[in-house]
Amino acid sequence: MNKLDISVVVPLYNEAESLPELAAWVDRVMRENGFSYEMILIDDGSSDGSWKVVEGLKAQYPAIRGISFARNYGKSAALYCGFAAAEGEVVVTMDADLQDSPDEIPELRRMILEEGYDLVSGWKKRRHDPVGKRWPSKFFNWTARTVSGIKLHDFNCGLKAYRRKVVKAIEVYGEMHRFIPILARQAGFRRIGEKVVDHHARKYGCSKFGVERMVKGYLDLISVLFMSHFGRSPMYFFGSLGTLMFLVGGGTTVWIIAEKLWKQFHDLPLRAVTDQPLFYLAILAVILGVQLFLAGFLGELINRGSSERNKYLIDKTL
Task: Output the CA angle 253-288-215, nearest 5 degrees.
Answer: 140
Q: Domain check: are 192 and 74 in the same one?
A: yes
Distances (CA, A) of 235 to 6, 40, 289, 310: 42, 41, 13, 17
Q: Domain check: are 127 and 265 in the same one?
A: no
Q: pLDDT by residue for the chain (318 residues), tens digit each? A: 568 999 999 999 999 999 999 999 999 999 999 999 999 999 999 998 899 999 999 999 999 999 999 899 889 899 999 999 999 999 999 999 898 999 999 999 999 999 999 999 999 887 766 665 666 777 777 888 887 788 888 888 889 999 999 999 988 887 788 889 988 988 889 899 999 998 877 777 666 555 566 666 667 777 777 776 776 678 888 889 999 999 999 999 999 999 888 888 888 888 888 888 998 999 999 999 999 999 988 888 877 766 555 555 555 554
Q: Domain check: are 17 and 127 in the same one?
A: yes
What's the domain count of the chain? 2
Q: Domain check: are 152 and 261 in the same one?
A: no
Q: Domain check: are 220 and 258 in the same one?
A: no
CA dist 162 and 183 (Å) reads 13
Q: Domain check: are 99 and 239 in the same one?
A: no
Q: Domain check: are 257 and 178 in the same one?
A: no
- 318 lies in a domain? no
Q: Domain check: are 62 and 140 in the same one?
A: yes
Range of the domain at 274: 234-304
Q: Is 305 helix (H, G, I), strand (E, B) or coil?
A: coil
Domain stop point among 173, 204, 230: 230
Q: Is 107 helix (H, G, I), strand (E, B) or coil?
A: helix
Question: How many CB atoms neighbour CB 35 within 10 A?
Answer: 18
- 101 lies in a domain? yes
Domain stop point among 176, 206, 230: 230
